[in-house]
Amino acid sequence: MFLHWLATTLFLSYATSFPTIQKALIPESLDEQPRAPLQDLVKHKGLHGRFLHITDFHPDHFYETYSSTEEDAVCHRGNGSAGVFGAETTDCDSPLTLVNATFDWIKDNLKDTIDFVIWTGDSSRHDSDEKIPRTEKEIISTNKLLVNKFEEVFGKTDDTDPRDGLTIPLVPNFGNNDIMPHNIMQPGPNRWTQSYLNVWRKFIPEEQRHGFSTGGWFFVEVIPNRLAVFSLNTMYFFEHNTAVDGCAERSDPGYQQMEWLRIQLQFLRKRGMKAILMGHVPPARTEAKLLWDETCWQKYTLWLQQYRDVVVGSLYGHMNIDHFLLQDHEDISKKALRGKTESITRTALDDEMTIQSAAGYLTELRAGWSQIPDAPKTKSRSSSGCGYFYDLFESITRKKKPKKSKEDKYLEKIGGEWAERYSLSLVSASVVPNYFPTLRVIEYNITGLDDLPVSHANCLENMTLQEVEEAHCFIQNADEDPTEIEQKKSKKRKGKKKKPKFTTPKPPSKSAPPGPAYSPQTLSWLGYQQYFANLTRINDDFGQEQVVGEKGWHNGKYSGKKPHKDKLKHHNKFEYEIEYDTRNDSVFGLKDLTVRSYLDLAGRIGQYKPPKGDRIEDIEEIDPEDIENSENGADVVACKDNELAPSKKKHKKHGKKHKHRKAINKVWFTFVNRAFVGARDDDELHDEFGQ
Ligand SMILES: *[C@@H]1O[C@H](CO)[C@@H](O)[C@H](O)[C@H]1NC(C)=O
Ligand SMILES: *[C@@H]1O[C@H](CO)[C@@H](O)[C@H](O)[C@H]1NC(C)=O
Ligand SMILES: *[C@@H]1O[C@H](CO)[C@@H](O)[C@H](O)[C@H]1NC(C)=O
Ligand SMILES: *[C@@H]1O[C@H](CO)[C@@H](O)[C@H](O)[C@H]1NC(C)=O
Ligand SMILES: *[C@@H]1O[C@H](CO)[C@@H](O)[C@H](O)[C@H]1NC(C)=O
Ligand SMILES: *[C@@H]1O[C@H](CO)[C@@H](O)[C@H](O)[C@H]1NC(C)=O
């Protein structure tokens, strides 16, 4: 039955999502590909090759300007420093002024230049005020408020368009604070999937609404016949959701979601389409900690490996820190996939990150990246980020030119030229100003969209619309799919109870070119701009103030201070500005957002010896002061046409080399600075991450 609705869901969505091209989807013969309608779409809708990723608004109706940021007041009462547009660097939630100003800014600056919106949840305040506990009604109503704001910005101005919804596709997603109690979601259908079916009705394709009410997951063809965005219900993967188990047992909603995803990705491959995966809680996992149940992480990683020709990339929120994750396919274990205990057991990462847990987590990520195979130092590495060669630390360890065989060995280790041993998930920070409010605009390659072949599942041929709707052939297809390899061995073992069915997804065909996450091509991500709003400047309530380190609840840089301005008398113009742009940022040196580029970046960040005993003293380091004294990127020559031009002279000038106990390098410092959206003081960061 499960497969039945899966198949029906997919099939109907395929046939009816886009009425304008529906006819073309049921061609008389395969010779008549639905090219013309797509070209119309591309031309007439005018794709821009950009989309918005926005996450973790946390709107709070109870926020009071100039209330106290202390834990017992949570910006709801008391006298204090909570600013007009939010209390940056605190754990307070977002005032509606910030929510409104953010949408106004999007309207003025992004509205007409993006193709779709990825909105990864947490559209309700935290349950942090004992005096005003959250209610279900409030949670739904703040979610509706955000939907209304999106409609204000992207809503249709004329009613003649028969399609429901906005001028561009928007893909919403469940956050762990969009339900109550937070983190806990029972298997569906449940009252939350029912409620959000209504709140998000416009965004969930009609033929998937039934599926959504069952599991809270769905996908949207943001570019019909070309690109689909999968909204994963990560509540069913989330280690902190004690109402469900994970992804190993057939009865787990996580298992069902993974099956759904597998089948959909399989069909997308057949159709020659690509997919973006998105969700709220990211698949964060370090040596010691994790956020997803291990069996879900295992399947996700296996799916990403097997559908590496289909998946363009994955986007998450939740953690409020800007960073990325690499999934190493060598961590896939048959035992762990089936939920058997392994030697390493990881504990759950904090459900809401404090500054302290974020610091520990980032340090653990870095330790993991220090295990990435060392890239040989050679110019022939065609896909390296140019910044690679500019890293200060790098210059110190540089050795004489290696031979080609080293390069080959390296490629062998990382899964070939395209680093197919790994997959990548990007995590954007939040609108809620735990640090500074932030959002991300990702650029992707739309060149050649019209030239891509559109292939139809054979069964579509010669079918009437009614037959399509009955979806007979897709049900057959799903069952008979020759690409599915049943692993029945475990069933044969005597005396044991029946194991859950496990289907290994089929890898790309041997002749298939590397996917868009690996090799730059149509739909590959090219780069992104990270925007932030400097609330310290915008609120303009304080002069220079001291920094207060806090445990647990973080009440910000201005703890205990009172603003010197009268309420709402003065603030600067609200705006988002560029924090960094990967297209021209020489520190990260990401010439694109492919896995290989990120592997290089992670390698450079991880390029240090973990602090074990005295070994660290052998490392020659750049004094952090030298880094501060040189302007961002000053030691680095701008990267032109992927030309590798190490700035040796500059290194000599600025890079005073001496032994330093703190294992800090510039790219690591930049990475942690950006993780906190530039809102934390350099000294504080050096204290925390310098060793
Ligand atoms: C806040 O300050 C006002 C006067 O500015 C005072 O009336 C009020 O009692 C104070 N509230 C608290 C909780 O201290
Ligand atoms: C935010 O905008 C809505 C309209 O979308 C308006 O009703 C509301 O009063 C605004 N709130 C604030 C605090 O500006
Ligand atoms: C569709 O119809 C054509 C022409 O009638 C026929 O040659 C072809 O085999 C049919 N395809 C299928 C899958 O039935
Ligand atoms: C964009 O895609 C086209 C078509 O695959 C390709 O030729 C081109 O090199 C890509 N552009 C970039 C900047 O990667
Ligand atoms: C934010 O603004 C404050 C006050 O103008 C300034 O001191 C600080 O450097 C700014 N931060 C960033 C990251 O631009
Ligand atoms: C990088 O590009 C952004 C626009 O995306 C621009 O504002 C910024 O000044 C550029 N930075 C450099 C160093 O060129």
Closest ligand 1 atom, residue 68 Cα: 13
pLDDT number for residue 686: 87
What is the C-alpha to C-alpha distance for residues 479 and 448, in angstroms, rounded to an integer?
34
- Helix/strand/coil for 362: helix
Ligand 6 centroid – CA 586 distance (Å): 11
Per-10-residue mean pLDDT, the chain, length 691: 46 38 32 38 70 98 95 95 94 98 98 97 97 98 98 83 77 98 96 97 93 96 94 98 95 95 90 95 96 97 97 98 98 89 84 89 95 77 43 51 79 97 98 98 94 54 44 34 35 48 85 96 98 95 52 67 63 96 96 98 82 42 39 32 31 38 73 97 87 50
* Look-up of token digits 């947490």: 122
The ligand 6 atom nearest the CA atom of 584:
1
Atom number of ligand 4 nearest to Cα 520 = 14
> Of ligand 1's atoms, which has the minimum distance to the CA of residue 78?
13
Structure confidence at residue 271 (pLDDT): 84
Strands 577-581 and 311-316, sheet pairing = unpaired
Q: What is the pLDDT of residue 163?
A: 56
In short, whether 78's Cβ falls inside 6 Å of ligand 1 is yes
Q: What count of other Cβ atoms lies within 10 Å of the Cβ of residue 32?
A: 11
Residue 447 Cβ contacting ligand 4 at under 6 Å: yes
Ligand 5 atom having least distance to the Cα of 677? 13
Q: Closest ligand 2 atom, CA of 97?
A: 13
DSSP one-letter string for 563-576: -SSPTTT--PPP--
Q: How far apart are CA 87 and CA 556, in angstroms?
A: 8
Q: Is 79 in the pocket of ligand 1 (CB under 6 A)?
A: yes
> Which of 576, 584, 587, 670 for mutating ligand 6's site (highest number of atoms within 8 Å of CB)?
584
Dist. CA 505 → ligand 3 center (Å): 29
Question: Which is the closest atom of ligand 2 to the Cα of 145?
Answer: 5
Q: Is the CB of 520 under 6 A from ligand 1?
A: no
What DSSP string runs through 482-546?
Answer: TT-EE--HHHHSTTSPPPPP-EEPPPPPTTPPPPTTTS--TT-EEEEEEEE--HHHHH---SS--
Residues in Cβ contact with 560 at an 8 Å cutoff, skipping those fewer than 6 apart: 80, 548
Distance CA 470, CA 182 (A): 39
Closest CA to 275 of 298, 309, 302: 309
Q: What pLDDT score does 687 carry?
A: 86
User: Which pLDDT score is estimated for 353?
Assistant: 86
Determine the angle formed by the axes of helices 136-154 and 191-199, rounding to 10 degrees: 20
Q: How far is CA 300 from CA 74, 308, 466, in A?
A: 37, 12, 35
This prediction has a pTM of: 0.81
Residue 256 is predicted with a pLDDT of 94
Domains, the chain, in order of start with CATH, read: 2-32 (no CATH), 51-59+94-372+420-444+460-527 (3.60.21), 611-691 (no CATH)
Which residue has its alpha carbon closest to ligand 4 atom 9? 521
Written as one string, the DSSP assignment of 313-357 is EEEE-SS-S-EEEEEEGGG--HHHHTT---S--PEEPPSS--HHH
Please work out, in degrees rounded to the nearest 5, the angle formed at the alpha carbon of residue 574 by the alpha carbons of 572 and 580.
115
CA nearest neighbour of 70 among 564, 563, 560: 560
Ligand 6 pocket residue status of 581, Cβ below 6 Å: yes
Ligand 6 lined by 642 (C-beta under 6 Å): no
Q: How many CB atoms lie within 10 A of CB 615?
A: 11
Question: Looking at residue 87, what is its pLDDT?
Answer: 96
State whether the Cα torsion 332-333-336-337 is positive or negative.
Answer: positive
Q: How far is the CA of 4 from the centre of ligand 3 (A)?
A: 25
- Cα–Cα nearest to 592, from 396, 445, 439: 445
- Nearest C-alpha to atom 12 of ligand 4 is from which residue? 520
Question: What integer pLDDT is reported at residue 14 of this predicted model?
Answer: 41
* Ligand 3 pocket member 461 (CB < 6 A): yes
Residue ranges of E strands in 70-209: 117-119, 170-171
Q: Which residue lies with its CA nearest to atom 6 of ligand 1?
A: 79
Region at 78 (left for phi over 0; alpha for psi -120 to 50; beta for the rest): left
Sheet holding 577-581, edge to edge: 170-171, 117-119, 50-54, 438-444, 525-532, 577-581
Q: In sequence order, what are the residues at sequence separation of 6 or more whose Cβ sits closer than 8 angstroms to the Cβ of residue 227?
A: 221, 273, 274, 275, 276, 312, 523
Residue 659 sits at φ, ψ, to 5 deg, of -70, 135
Question: Is residue 574 within 8 Å of 85, Cβ to Cβ?
Answer: yes
Report the distance separating Cα 375 and Cα 382, nearest Å: 12
Ligand 4 centroid from CA 591, angstroms: 13
Residue-by-residue DSSP string for 650-691: HHHHH--EEE-SS---HHHHHHHHHHTTT-S-HHHHHHHH--
Strand 218-223 and strand 227-231: the pairing is antiparallel
Q: Is the distance from the beta carbon of residue 582 to the nearest atom of ligand 4 less than 6 Å? A: no
